Amino acid sequence: MSETPVKQQNTAAYYGQAVASFGIALGAVAVGIFNMETDAWVRAFLGVAVLYLTTSAFTLAKVVRDRQEAGQIVSRVDQARLEKLLAEHDPFQKL
C-alpha cells in the first residue's frame, strides 16, 4: 500500500547545459573584469569577490539540498511507523 516516490534523474543534456551555462557566465565575468579600465588592485578585488560569490552559491545549494533530503528521510520514517501501526491494528478487537 505504500507508494515509493520515483527518484528524479536529470538528463545528460540538462547537466551539460547547467555546466556550460555556469562556465560561460564565469568566463564572461572574468573577461569583463580583465578588460576593465581600472587599476590592477580593483580588478583583483572584483576577481576575489566573484570567486567568493561562486563558492558561497555552491555552499547554499548544498545546504538547501541537504535540508530537503533530511526532510524526505524524516517523512519516510514517519510514513513507515504509520503503516506499521495500521497493519497491527485490529478494529474488531475488544478494548
pLDDT at 4: 59
Dihedral sign computed on CA atoms, order 74, 76, 77, 82: positive
Q: Is 2 left (phi over 0), alpha (psi -120 to 50) or beta?
A: beta
Three-state DSSP class for residue 37: coil
For residue range 11-38, list pLDDT tens digits in order: 889 889 999 999 999 999 999 999 999 9
pLDDT at 20: 95
